[in-house]
Structure 1
Amino acid sequence: MIRRILAACALLLVAPALWAAGALEGEVQRQPLNVSAILMFLAFVGGTLYITYWASKRNTSTSDFYTAGGSITGFQNGLAIAGDYMSAASFLGISALVFTSGYDGLIYSIGFLVGWPVILFLIAERLRNLGKYTFADVASYRLGQKEIRILSACGSLVVVAFYLIAQMVGAGKLIQLLFGLDYLVAVVLVGILMMLYVLFGGMLATTWVQIIKAVMLLSGASFMAIMVMKHVDFDFARLFSEAIAVHPKGEAIMSPGGLVKDPVSAISLGLALMFGTAGLPHILMRFFTVSDAKEARKSVFYATGFIGYFYILTFIIGFGAILLVSTNPDFKDATGGLIGGTNMAAVHLANAVGGNLFLGFISAVAFATILAVVAGLTLAGASAVSHDLYASVIKKGKANDKEEMRVSRITTIALGILAIFLGIAFEKQNIAFMVGLAFSIAASCNFPVLFLSMYWKKLTTRGALIGGSLGLLTAVVLMILGPTVWVQVLGHAEAIFPYEYPALFSMLVAFSGIWLFSITDKSSAAASERALFLPQFVRSQTGLGASGAVAH
Structure 2
Amino acid sequence: MNHHLLLAATEPAKSTNKALTVGMFVVLVLATLGITFWARRSTRGTGGFYTASGEFNALQNGIAISGDYLSAASFLGIAGIIALSGYDGFLYSIGFLVAWLVALLLVAELLRNTGRFTMADVLAARLRNGPMRTAAGVSTIVVSIFYLIAQMVGASTIVGQLLGVTGAGAQIWTIVGVGALMIVYVVVGGMKGTTWVQIVKAGLLIAGTLTMTVWVLAKYGFNVSHLLGDAAAQSGKKDAFLQPGQKYGATDGWSKLDLISLGVALVLGTAALPHVLVRFYTVPTGRDARKSVNWAIGIIGVFYLMTLVLGFGAAAIVHTAVIKEKDPSGNTAATLLAEHLGGGAGTTGGSMMLAFVAAVAFATILAVVAGLTLTSSSSFAHDLYANVIKKGKATERQELFTAKIASVAIGAVAIVLSILAREQNVAFLVALAFAIAASANLPAILFTLFWKRFTTFGAKCGIYTGLIASVGLVLLSPICWGGATSTVHAAKLSAKQAADCGVPVQSKEVGNATALFSCTAKAPVPLQNPGLISIPVGFVAAIAGTLLGGRRRDEEQQEAETYEALEVRALTGVGAV
User: In structure 2, which of residues 198, 201, 222 is the aligned counterpart of residue 213 of structure 1?
Assistant: 201
Whole-angstrom distance in 1 between the partners of 2:82 and 2:573:
51
2:307 to 314, 333, 336: 314
Q: Which runs of 5+ in 1 are unaligned?
A: 1-30, 547-552
Moved more, 123-132 or 497-506: 497-506
Moved more, 126-135 or 75-84: 75-84
The code of the aligned residue for 1:273 comes to: L
Match of 2:98 in 1: 114
Matches of residues 225-240 of structure 1 in structure 2 within 5 Å?
Answer: 225-240=213-228
CA–CA separation in structure 1 for the residues paired with 2:452 and 2:325:
56
Q: How does 1:521-532 map to 2 (within 5 A)?
A: 521-523=550-552, 524-532=554-562
2:115 matched residue in structure 1: 131
Task: Assess if the C-alpha contact under 8 Å between 1:104 and 1:256 holds in 2.
Answer: yes
State how far apart, in whole Å, the 1-side matches of 2:210 and 2:261 are.
Answer: 33
Q: In structure 2, what residue type is equivalent to 1:509? A: V
1:388 equivalenced with 2:383 (yes/no) = yes
- Which protein shows a greater Rg? 2
Structure 1 contact 430–489 (Cα < 8 Å) conserved: no
Amino acid in the other structure paired with 2:440? C
> Counterpart of 2:285?
292
Between the aligned partners of 1:231 and 1:196, the Cα distance in structure 2 is 42
Provide, for residues 425-465 of structure 1, a one-character-per-residue CA deviation record: whole Å limited to 9, x for no partner.
66589999754442222111111111111011110001111
Tell me by how many angstroms 1:115 deviates.
1.0
Local SS of the residue matching 2:394: coil
How far the C-alpha of 1:143 sits from its partner, in A, is 0.2
Q: Does 1:511 align with 2:539?
A: yes
Q: Deviations over 1:458-490 (max 9, x none)?
A: 100011112221111111222222222233233
- Offset at 1:240? 3.1
| Aligned with residue 410 of structure 2, among 415, 429, 449 | 415
Match of 1:152 in 2: 136
Query: Within 2, Cα distance between the matches of 1:267 and 1:238?
Result: 30
Residue deviations 1:516-546 (CA, integer Å, cap 9, x gap): 2212334231331123212766225584569
Instruction: Kindly provide the amino acid, as one letter, of the partner of residue 143 in structure 2.
Output: V
| Alignment correspondent of 1:270 | 263
* Corresponding residue to 2:82 among 93, 98, 106: 98
Q: CA deviation at 1:369?
A: 2.3
What code does the residue aligned with 2:472 have?
V
Separation of aligned partners in 2, 1:320 and 1:372: 27
2:80, 2:334 within 8 Å by CA — same for their partners in 1? yes
The residue correspondences of 1:355-434 to structure 2 (distance < 5 A) are 355=349, 356-424=351-419
Helix, strand or coil at the partner of 1:484? coil
SS at match of 1:325: helix
SS in 1 for 2:116: coil
C-alpha RMSD of the superposition: 2.6
- Distance of aligned partners of 1:257 and 1:466 in 2 relative to their CA distance in 1, 3 Å threshold: same
Contact 2:331 2:426 in 1 (8 A): no
Q: Kindly tell me the number of residue pairs found equivalent between the two proteins.
A: 510
2:564 to 512, 524, 534: 534
Write the distance in 1 (CA, Å) between the matches of 2:336 and 2:396: 50
SS of equivalent residue, structure 2 residue 300: helix
Q: Is the 8 A contact 1:136 1:153 kept in 2?
A: yes
Contact kept in structure 1, 2:335 and 2:354, CA below 8 Å: yes
Are the structure 2 counterparts of residues 101 and 477 from structure 1 closer, same or farther at C-alpha, using a change threshold of 3 Å? closer
Aligned to 1:12: none
SS in 2 for 1:534: helix
Alignment of 1:89 onto 2:73: yes
The amino acid of 1:256's aligned partner reads P
Which whole-Å CA distance do the structure 1 matches of 2:233 and 2:523 have between them?
A: 40
Give the TM-score, by structure 1 length: 0.86
Per-residue deviation, 1:242: 4.0
Q: CA deviation at 1:406?
A: 1.3
2:508 alignment partner in structure 1? none
2:61 corresponds to 1:77: yes
* Deviations 1:27-67 (CA, angstroms, capped at 9, x unpaired): xxxx9883233212211122112111211111111111110
2:192 to 198, 204, 214: 204
Task: Give the distance between the partners of 2:404 and 2:524, measured in 1 at CA.
Answer: 42
Looking at structure 2, the residues matched to 184 and 501 of structure 1 have their Cα atoms a distance apart, in angstroms, of 26
286-295 or 413-422: bigger deviation? 413-422
